Chain A
């Protein structure tokens, strides 16, 4: 029987392996050197590389990337910021949500090279286990998750949602486009609809966001 720490280690390795094999589907063929990765059928295809520099969580980072690399893969595989998650990889689930220039986006649906000079905040930049962002603390307090896979995206999205409301950006459920916004449960749920939680922790997520927004859910 493995000890808990061994299990943690092998689980971690397994997850890394899974993430890597997903990434290699789209990653540079130059990386296809490890025996575990099957050779790509189109190895003869020329790889186009490009340099990009951007600010991630307050640090300037410069990377040379295959142009195909999404912002999500650049963050996870090149900068090792694995908090942002790859769920569907097609902009449908929101697990990859990060904040770029103050706005939440799906990092899986944008190329890293398109972000020259941008400021990017990931879940790692919002807070740390010892110094959590109020939204992170509220998710813990209200149990706004079960498996946790969608959580970094939910939290980045939620932080940006409150900024969008503060900026007066209306939503589909705003009753009057020209009146001050009401911070209702329906508003939060509509605005969070791009973040899917397969465990169905939505009511607790809404409670966590409501608390940070300063209103009862």
Chain B
């Protein structure tokens, strides 16, 4: 690990200004992804700004009837919150499907969104990777790409975003709140938060340098049956091959988002409208522009079947 200086931030704006001041600085909250990557020297910050002391660990009701989740709320606490379990069950289920108990105790809401979009070639420093070293090429394209993206990928990168939580938040139309280094704030709809790789796969979100997430807000509950269905190579503690977050109303309408298929949580609002017509219609619309590799073409059929399973579960 490269040496770094360390500071404990006292206010969100101060933390943002500290990171903005030094291009080689990073925030650290749970640290479960950042430290993993620092040990491999894939991430090499020269300065860390510890944000754990900021009072951003509460879940509060909003005046609009939704929930405002502090950036530092741990994954375990968010999954276990009684309001989330009752009104946003798809979020509880997604969180509980991710990582391990130890990691969920440490990982934060904002950190979960900001974990690197990644693949095994990103971790292997002997391989080219446009995300790790822009311009070096992509080892995954033409390599073993079973786990990789089937849609929204580019010639530069076919990695997938590994978060389960973010897929549920995409289905729930969450909003990311951030503070800028000058102390002003802005709201970013979750749909616009993560980027597709294009020719700059190393830039994964629309946050600006120094910008710090302070909260994630959920709109008022939409009701319906909430389902998170995750298919993976082992029963627990593995990334999704395909995952489905679905919210289905009694009349068959609803929303659906996919994980494990793209560089970001994948939702196409036009596909939501197909829900009453069943899984095939939804999958056809959601994955209309898919360009799988020969290794991961199975994800198209798997996605359709997983949507089908989620819809059956929602019907109860």
Residues of B within 8 A of A116 (CB): 8
Closest to B96 in A: A172
Residues of A within 8 A of B4 (CB): 48, 67-68
B97 to A: closest C-beta gap in Å = 5
Contact A106 B76 (CB under 8 A): no
Residues of A within 8 A of B205 (CB): none
Contact B1 A26 (CB under 8 A): yes
Contact A106 B106 (CB under 8 A): yes
Contact A157 B80 (CB under 8 A): no
Contact A91 B36 (CB under 8 A): yes
Name A164's contact: one of B6, B30, B31, B101 (CB within 8 Å): B101
Closest to A28 in B: B3
Closest to A96 in B: B102
Closest to A172 in B: B96
B236, CB-defined interface residue at 8 Å: yes
Name A91's contact: one of B80, B85, B96, B103 (CB within 8 Å): B103
Closest to A66 in B: B3
A89, CB-defined interface residue at 8 Å: yes
Contact B50 A114 (CB under 8 A): yes
Contact B39 A26 (CB under 8 A): yes
Per-position binary interface string of chain A over residues 61-90, scored 1 when its CB falls under 8 Å from any chain B CB and 0 otherwise: 000001110100000000000000000011
Per-position binary interface string of chain B over residues 89-128, scored 1 when its CB falls under 8 Å from any chain A CB and 0 otherwise: 1001100110111110110000000000000000000000
Q: Kindly state the interface size class of chain B when it binds its partner.
A: 35 or more
Residues of A within 8 A of B105 (CB): 103-105
Name B100's contact: one of A48, A66, A94 (CB within 8 Å): A94
Per-position binary interface string of chain A over residues 110-141, scored 1 when its CB falls under 8 Å from any chain B CB and 0 otherwise: 11011010000000000000000000000000
Residues of B within 8 A of A114 (CB): 28, 31, 50, 52
Contact A170 B1 (CB under 8 A): no
Per-position binary interface string of chain A over residues 155-181, scored 1 when its CB falls under 8 Å from any chain B CB and 0 otherwise: 001001100100111111010011000
Name A170's contact: one of B32, B92, B106 (CB within 8 Å): B92
Contact A110 B102 (CB under 8 A): no
Residues of B within 8 A of A47 (CB): 3
Contact A190 B236 (CB under 8 A): yes
Q: Kindly state the interface size class of chain A when it binds its partner.
A: 35 or more
Contacts A94-B100, A170-B85, A170-B92: A46 and B3 contacting too (C-beta < 8 A)? Answer: yes
Q: Is the interface of A mostly helix, strand, loop or mixed?
A: loop
Contact B6 A48 (CB under 8 A): yes
Per-position binary interface string of chain B over residues 26-46, scored 1 when its CB falls under 8 Å from any chain A CB and 0 otherwise: 001011100110010000000
B48, CB-defined interface residue at 8 Å: yes
A45, CB-defined interface residue at 8 Å: yes
A103 to B: closest C-beta gap in Å = 4
Contacts A106-B106, A109-B106: A194 and B100 contacting too (C-beta < 8 A)? Answer: yes
Contact B92 A110 (CB under 8 A): no
Name B36's contact: one of A68, A109, A170, A193 (CB within 8 Å): A109
Contacts A26-B39, A170-B96: A106 and B102 contacting too (C-beta < 8 A)? Answer: yes
Contact A91 B50 (CB under 8 A): no
Contact A172 B236 (CB under 8 A): yes
B162 to A: closest C-beta gap in Å = 13
A97, CB-defined interface residue at 8 Å: yes
Contact B1 A193 (CB under 8 A): no
A175 to B: closest C-beta gap in Å = 12
Name A67's contact: one of B48, B52, B86, B93 (CB within 8 Å): B48
B15 to A: closest C-beta gap in Å = 14
Name A68's contact: one of B3, B93, B101 (CB within 8 Å): B3
Contact A104 B3 (CB under 8 A): no
Contact B31 A111 (CB under 8 A): yes
Expressed in whole angstroms, the Cα–Cα distance for A18 and B76 within the complex equals 35
- A: residues with CB less than 8 A from B are 26, 42, 45-48, 50, 66-68, 70, 89-91, 94, 97, 103-106, 109-111, 113-114, 116, 157, 160-161, 164, 167-172, 174, 177-178, 189-194
- B: residues with CB less than 8 A from A are 1-6, 8, 28, 30-32, 35-36, 39, 48, 50, 52, 76, 79-80, 85-86, 89, 92-93, 96-97, 99-103, 105-106, 235-237
A-B contact pairs, 19 of them (CB 8 A): A45-B3, A46-B3, A47-B3, A50-B6, A90-B39, A91-B36, A105-B106, A109-B36, A111-B28, A111-B35, A113-B6, A157-B102, A169-B76, A169-B80, A172-B93, A177-B85, A177-B89, A193-B100, A194-B99
